[in-house]
Amino acid sequence: MANFSIPASNDAAEDASRLLQRLGFVILALGAPCAEALSPRAIFLFFPIGMALLLVATMLHPVKDVGARLYRALWSPLARLSFAMLAWAALSLVWTPFGVEAAEHLFKLTGTGLLVVVALACSRDHMRAAELYLFPLGIVLAMLAILVMAVADHAELGSYADKIGRTGVALVILLWPAMAGLAARGRNGLARLLMILAAAFVFAIGSPSVAAAFFVGVLVLSFAISDL
> Residue 129: its pLDDT value, please?
67
Residue 173 CA to residue 217 CA, distance in Å, equals: 7
Q: Compute CA 49 distance to the chain's CA centroid, rounded to the nearest angstrom.
A: 12
Question: What is the Cα–Cα distance from 167 to 34, expressed in whole angstroms?
Answer: 7
Q: What is the pLDDT of residue 4?
A: 39
For residue 70, the number of C-alpha atoms closer than 13 Å in the C-beta half-sphere is: 12
Residue type, 188: N
pTM here? 0.71
What tens digit of pLDDT does each residue of 170-223 get? 888 888 888 888 887 888 888 889 989 988 888 888 888 888 888 888 888 888
| Residue ranges of the chain whose pLDDT lies below 70 | 1-11, 123-129, 228
User: How would you label 38-58 residue by residue, b for 16+ Cβ within 10 Å and e otherwise?
Assistant: eeeeebbebbbebbebbbbbb
